[in-house]
Structure 1
Amino acid sequence: MFLSKRRSWKTLLIALVAVMAFSALAGCGKKSEGNAAGGEDTSKVVATYEGGEITENEFDREQRILLALQPEYEQFLQMDDFREYLIKQEIAYEYLEANADDKIKEEGKKKAEEQLAAMKQSIGDDAFKQMLDAQKVSEADFKNYMIRIYTVMESEKTKVTDEDVKKEFEATKEDYITASVRHILIGFTDREGKERSKEDTLKLAKEVKAKLDNGEDFATLVKEYSTDGQTNIDNGGLYADTPVGNWVPEFKEQAISLPLNQISDPVETTYGYHIMRVEKRTEKTFDDLTQEEKDLIQMSVASQKLDEFMTGELEKSIIKKIELPKVEKSEDNGSTNSGTGNNAGTDAGAENGSGTNSGTSNSSTGNTNAGK
């Protein structure tokens, strides 16, 4: 469907706790891991910070683990500013994990082990192994990566007060409105994959809207015209009791403001024109939130505090030096080489689109167009 894509890559990196159902990514205990061959890591130091350093091989492993989970990020690893941000994030997690107390570390390890087991159960042991093998990542490295992130996020959560959670809810409470919306999507691409001009798409949307105004059945017209996913078409165009924050801004705004049971004029999004009818809308107060929803808000605030740490104290006083090689672009074929020890992006292209992009999934809607 037409999910909101609100996160920049920086925000997504900070909040990778959302990837694969509440997980986040980075490594722990890696100073004793050595290089990929199992020996002492003698590769060049590419970053130094208060209390530690990161080598070329260690940063290469960080990139490969990211690609194992998010293969579509290969294109970003060809950008110098992205790679610099990624190593700063690695420094942040290394530093904060090292300074966490024993109780937090134990809780982080427990959460990471639970998540690892859940991931294996979700995608299957074989698929999990293939995901790691494609980027030459060991399960031990991956587990350590998760332990470090969960340790840091558990530590950041302790800094979030109940008042912080309430304040964040008030700032974003529109996202917690749920609505049942029936719609017909007249897409810029028809059901056969043929592109339509914007003018032709709008013209058809207005014709469908006129039919609805004349009393024709909504569900019948959905089956005849809608280009949303088949599940939604079979459901008469209805998305029931869905958080409006899941939708792109234009659709969300109509879901919030359109009078109940009134047929909208065509609403333009990047997917086409929607004719909408809001059949139910429910607002929530803070007291209406489930504990899971409060936990998610707490995690969001913790991620914001981590972002503030990275742009504040980390930049100003903790990082001593970063010396990453520039990404080199080949004139022959346009390929890139970051210069790191193990060529982090080598296998990522083959994995792109493998189904690991779960950070924006919305399983509750039966959505088939989430990746558009």
Structure 2
Amino acid sequence: MWLTKRWGAILLALTLLFSITACSSGKGGTAAGGNEDQQPDNPVPIVDVSLGLEPQAIVAEYEGGSLTAEQFESYLRVQVFINPQYGLAIQQNDPQALTYLIERYVAEETLANRADQSESVDEQVQHQINQLKSEYLTVYNGDEKRLKKQMKDQDVTDQQLEQFYRQYFLASNHLGSKVTDEDMQRKYEATKQEDKDSFVVASVRHILIAVGEPPTGLADGEKPRSDEEARKLAEEITERLRNGEDFAELAKEYTDDPGSKETGGLYEDVYVTEWVPEFKKAAAELPLDTISDPIKAEYGYHILRVEKRTEHTVDQLQGIARARFVGEIIDQKYLEFVNQDLKEILKEENIHLPKQDEK
């Protein structure tokens, strides 16, 4: 949804920031050394969000309330913890970025206030906080002390995260309650026009012969495969399958895909759009129960057999696919709200930000 899209990208943002801070240091940042032992406790820059205003100074007035510098700075600290990529723009006091975040704050608060306040969002809030912390811990190699230090240095608390996410989920769920069957059908048809295979579900059995080092790693004494070696082995296995050998048994013996090794190469009832383009195309088009030629993709050569394939109607969408689909409609409704209603709730002349040289 309009906020959750960015949460899934936090690892990329943190990686990019780590690369930047490894090369230089400056106000609000840290420099990383050349090896893990030399890395600082906080490889992710700590951002100065101070606006240079008195705490009770009004930075925005809007229908139903006002936003003080103190409140906005608290919101900015949470934002840069969740979205490190915002840090540079905020630290440089970029008016466009700050205006955008004021609009977001007001939009979320307004929509949350319109939501059914009796609705419990505790489970959603805790799930999102756990996911966020898990992504940080991945960057910090599971070191919880470094995560706690990051939060302390950025002056972000669990209570602030809970408040932020509670407001978001109330706002999001309110917009979700406005999604109609007509909205779903229009989105379904538009999505199919963009990609005719958007709602195709297939059960595919496959064997991956990796090029280079396989995802499962190399055994003692084993060397990475060259492209030619991988292709030759894939062709040999393809021939054996076409001669009637058992696909599941060969998959358990040869596949380099850890996600399907124990199931004999089977991925069952998966939307084909979840796969890389080459795999997706074969899963959507290969005749049923036919052994494919080896297909080259990112990790090596795939040999496929499609065992079942169907297309879901809008009413049959399920799981992650349905959540993503509804989330995209909620995004649309959020943008409609921002582009229409918010302009009346928060007028441009009622935003009072300091000039860049005032910070």
| TM-score, structure 2 as length reference | 0.62
Contact 1:181 1:277 in 2 (8 A): yes
State TM-score, norm by structure 1.
Answer: 0.60
Match of 2:46 in 1: none
Partners of 2:166 and 2:336 in 1: how far apart? Answer: 22
Greater length-normalized contact order (CA 8 Å, ≥ 6 residues apart)? 1
Percent identity between the two aligned chains: 31
Q: 1:209 to 1:288 in 2, by over 3 A?
A: same
Higher Cα radius of gyration: 2
TM alignment of 1:90-239, pairs within 5 A: 90-100=101-111, 102-104=113-115, 106=117, 110-111=120-121, 113-117=122-126, 134-136=150-152, 137-172=156-191, 174-191=197-214, 192-193=217-218, 195-229=224-258, 231-239=259-267
Asked if the contact 1:205/1:273 (under 8 Å) is kept, the reply is yes
Distance 2:236 2:354 in 1: 60
Q: CA RMSD in A?
A: 4.6
Residues 107 and 151 of structure 1 are in contact (CA less than 8 Å); yes or no, is this contact kept in structure 2? no
Match of 1:246 among 274, 280, 284: 274
Give 1:292 deviation, angstroms. Answer: 8.6
How many residue pairs match? The answer is: 284
Q: Contact 1:14–1:307 at 8 Å: present in 2 too? A: no
User: 1:266-315: CA deviations, max 9, x gaps?
Assistant: 22222222111000112222333459965653322112333566688879
Letter of the structure 2 residue corresponding to residue 221 of structure 1: L
Q: Which moved more, 1:52-61 or 1:168-177?
A: 52-61
Unaligned runs of at least 5 residues, structure 1: 1-10, 20-40, 68-73, 326-339, 341-372
* Alignment map for 1:40-119 (pairs within 5 Å): 43-44=51-52, 51=62, 52=67, 55-56=72-73, 58-64=75-81, 66=82, 74=84, 76=85, 80=89, 90-100=101-111, 102-104=113-115, 106=117, 110-111=120-121, 113-117=122-126
Measure how far apart 1:181 and its partner are.
0.4
SS, match of residue 115 in structure 2: helix
Q: CA separation of 1:219/1:91 partners in 2, compared to 1, >3 Å: closer, same or farther? A: same
User: Cα distance 1:88–1:241, how it changes in 2: closer, same or farther (>3 A)?
Assistant: farther
Residue range with higher mean Cα deviation, 212-221 or 255-264: 212-221
